[in-house]
Amino acid sequence: MSRPTIAGVARAAGVSVASVSRVLNGLPATEEMIERVQRAVDALGYVPDSRARSLKVGRTFQLTLAVADVGNPVYVTMMRAVEEVVSAAGYRLVVTTTGPDVVDEVALVRGMARGYADGLLISPIRVDEDLVKSIRECEVPVVVAGNVPAKAGVDTVRANSPKGMLLAVDHLVAKGRRRIAFLNGPADTVPGAARSKGFTEALKAHELQPAAVAEATDFTFAAGRAAAPDLLAAGGVFDALICANDLLAVGLMHELAAAGLEVPRDVAVVGMDDSELAEQSFPPLTSVNLGSAERGRRAAELLLARIEDNERAPRRIVVQPSLSIRRSTP
C-alpha cells in the first residue's frame, strides 16, 4: 500500500480531485463538501506531496542559508535567528557550508537555478567580481548578510564595524588606556578588511598610533593562540588589545595568562561579535555587539519580503553596534 494521492481521496469521497484540492487549500466550498473531503483525508491519512506541489506552483517553500562554517558562533547565532523567522513564515531552511573558497560560493549561487529553494541568504567570507556577477544574475532572490557592492543589486544587511571599533576605542581611552594593539583575522576577507579599516580610523579619531598589529590566519580560537607570540614579542608596549572576534580574543587571553599577564590589570581585552562565548569566558569578555542575531532576523525578513514582491528597490540595511562591557576591561 503506497501513499494515497489526491485522486484516491477524491474516489473515496466520491468527489472530484478539484474539489479535494479546493477544500485542502481553503477555497470556497459547501459545508457538506468540506465534511466529506475531510473524512476521506483522515481515513486514508492523506498528506499532500510537496514535490508535486512544488513543481506545480513553482515554489518549494524552502530558503537556503549559506555560510562559510556552521560551527562559528557568530554564524550559529545568525542561523538561529534566521531559522526562527523562516519557520514562522512556513518555510524550511536548507543550510549549506561554502568553505573558505569563493569559487564554491559562486557555484552555490549558480546552483540556485535548479530551483530547489525560493531564495538565498548568503554571508560571503570573500567577495570578487565573479561572485557579484553570479549574485546579480541569480535565478532566485538573494539577500547578502555582509558587504557587497551596490551594483550587485540585491538587499543587503551588514554590521557597522568601524562604528563598533570606535565604541571599543572610546571605551578603552575613557578608561585611560592609550597603547592599543589590534589582532585581526585574515585581512583578505570581508570582515577582516572592515575591521582593519575601522581600527585605523578609530585610532586616528583619537590621534593615537597603533601599539601593535597582528593578523591571525583564521577567525578561530586556535589562530588566536597561535598569534600570541607575534604580539607578545612587542612585550609591554600595549595596555589594551582589540580582537577581530571573540574566538581570537579568548584564544589570546589564554596565552596572556600563560605569560603572566593579568586581564584587565595589565592588558584590557575587547572582543567583537558579543557571542555567547564572551559571557562564558573568564574573565567575561567586553565585546562589541555587531548585532548578529538582528542581522540574521532582518536579512530573513528582507528575503521573505522580496519573494513576495521582487519589484521593490534593493534595500541596504546597516545594523548599529553596541558595546557589552564586562570584566575584561577596567
Considering the rule CB under 8 A, would residue 276 count as an interface residue with its own copies? yes
What amino acid occupies position 222? Answer: A
Cα–Cα distance for residue pair 205/203, rounded to 1 Å: 5
Considering the rule CB under 8 A, would residue 60 count as an interface residue with its own copies? yes
Considering the rule CB under 7 A, would residue 26 count as an interface residue with DNA? no
Q: Shortest gap between Cβ of 58 and DNA (angstroms)?
A: 7
Among residues 79, 135, 203, 231, which is the contact residue for its own copies, using CB under 8 A? 79
Among residues 42, 49, 188, 266, which is the contact residue for its own copies, using CB under 8 A? 49
Pick from its own copies, DNA, none: which does 217 bind, CB < 5 to 8 A by kind? Answer: none
DSSP reduced 3-state for 311: coil
* Residue 49 CB neighbour total at 10 angstroms: 12
Which cell numbers hold the place of 65? 542559508
Between residues 55 and 233, which has the closer beta carbon with respect to its own copies?
55
Pick from its own copies, DNA, none: which does 197 bind, CB < 5 to 8 A by kind? Answer: none
Considering the rule CB under 8 A, would residue 265 count as an interface residue with its own copies? no
Between residues 55 and 88, which has the closer beta carbon with respect to DNA?
55
Among residues 7, 43, 103, 113, which is the contact residue for its own copies, using CB under 8 A? 113
295, 158 in Cβ contact below 8 A? yes
Q: Among candidates 149, 157, 95, 105, which has minimal Cα distance to 301?
A: 157
Contacts 24+ apart (CB under 8 A), 123-128: 123/66, 123/67, 123/68, 123/75, 123/78, 124/98, 124/148, 124/190, 125/68, 125/98, 125/100, 125/189, 125/190, 125/191, 126/100, 126/101, 126/102, 126/188, 126/189, 126/190, 127/102, 127/190, 128/102
Between residues 94 and 187, which has the closer beta carbon with respect to its own copies?
94
Distances (CA, A) of 128 to 59, 147, 211, 325: 30, 11, 32, 36
Instruction: Quote the DSSP letter at residue 112.
Output: G
Considering the rule CB under 7 A, would residue 5 count as an interface residue with DNA? yes
Among residues 16, 87, 217, 320, which is the contact residue for its own copies, using CB under 8 A? 87
If phi > 0 it is left, if psi is from -120 to 50 it is alpha, else beta; for residue 99 that is: left
Pick from its own copies, DNA, none: which does 22 bind, CB < 5 to 8 A by kind? Answer: DNA
Stretch 31-60 residues interacting with DNA (CB under 7 A)? 32-33, 46, 48-49, 51-53, 55-58
Q: Are strands 286-289 and 322-324 parallel, antiparallel or unpaired?
A: antiparallel
What amino acid occupies position 203? Answer: L
Between residues 6 and 232, which has the closer beta carbon with respect to DNA?
6
Beta strands in 146-215 (DSSP E): 155-159, 180-184, 212-215
Pick from its own copies, DNA, none: which does 19 bind, CB < 5 to 8 A by kind? Answer: DNA
Angle at 137 between CA 135 and CA 140, to 5 degrees: 80
**Only segment of 29-37, 149-157, 186-194, 280-288 that touches DNA (CB under 7 A):** 29-37
Between residues 43 and 55, which has the closer beta carbon with respect to its own copies?
55
Cα radius of gyration (the chain): 25
Binding footprint of DNA on the chain (CB under 7 A): 2-3, 5-7, 15-19, 21-22, 24-25, 28-30, 32-33, 46, 48-49, 51-53, 55-58
Binding footprint of its own copies on the chain (CB under 8 A): 3, 45, 47-52, 54-55, 58, 60, 62, 69-71, 76-77, 79-80, 83-84, 87, 92-97, 110-111, 113-116, 139, 221, 247, 250-251, 253-254, 257, 276-277, 279-282, 284
